[in-house]
Amino acid sequence: MLEHGEWELVICNDPDDDFNLTAEITRNGEILAFIRRKAGKPTVTWFKSGEDIDIPFDWFSQAVQEAGRRLSASYLIE
């Protein structure tokens, strides 16, 4: 888990993908995005929001790197 104030990166199992790891980006507990692997490549899925959201860039960059590292490691185990 990686936290920055209201922002959090949570690495968890994806029940829709045979429980492979996924990363959730949340803001105040609300899931805004998923980072996961599709066809062996990392993807980011953003959910629609009713407002413009400013994401701290340094934290986001660190979160994407951490998610990539953790998700890649999970696929090396297979």
Alpha carbons within 13 angstroms on the beta-carbon side of residue 33 total 18
pLDDT value, residue 68? 87
DSSP code, position 5: T
**Of 66 and 19, the one with more pLDDT:** 66
pLDDT digits 0-9 by tens, 1-48 = 788 889 999 998 888 777 788 999 999 999 999 898 877 788 889 998
What is the full DSSP assignment across 56-78?
-HHHHHHHHHHHHHHHHHHHHH-
pLDDT value, residue 32? 93
pLDDT value, residue 18? 78
pLDDT digits 0-9 by tens, 46-60 = 998 888 888 899 999
Which residues are CB-contacts of 74 (< 8 A; sequence separation ≥ 6)? 20, 21
Is the per-residue pLDDT at 67 higher than 80? yes
